[in-house]
Amino acid sequence: MNIQLLYFDGCPSWQDGLKNLEIALRELQIDAPIELVKVLDDPDAARLQFAGSSSFWVDSRDLWHEQRENFSLSCRVYATPAGLRGSPTIAMLKEKLAVKG
């Protein structure tokens, strides 16, 4: 399983997303490294089809794929049980990863 977390430095939420991802992987007993992919600018975002920071990709697919035409450096929000947040919950990540695993 190839796991990537795409982010940009200006996003305040990507580190929480990384922590949640690490916990979800550990709880699912998935032993796979996480590749951090730093998105540098808008052209880089377009090339990577970056839907915002943080984005979680498994085997080259965004776990929360969105149809869109424009890609840029932006923060991403997730609809969690506690409302909109800058990263998915551990439970949300586990649900997506369990399907991929």
Q: Is the pTM of this model over 0.85?
A: yes
Using 70 as the pLDDT threshold, list the residues of the chain that sit under it.
Answer: 100-101
Rounded Cα distance between 73 and 81, Å, is 26
pLDDT for the residue 63: 96
Token pair belonging to 16: 């929480």
pLDDT for the residue 2: 95
Instruction: Using the Cα atoms of residue 100, residue 94, residue 92 and residue 13 in order, give the sign of their dihedral.
Output: negative
Chain position carrying tokens 């997506």 = 96
| Full set of structural domains in the chain with CATH | 3-100 (3.40.30)
Rounded Cα distance between 79 and 81, Å, is 7
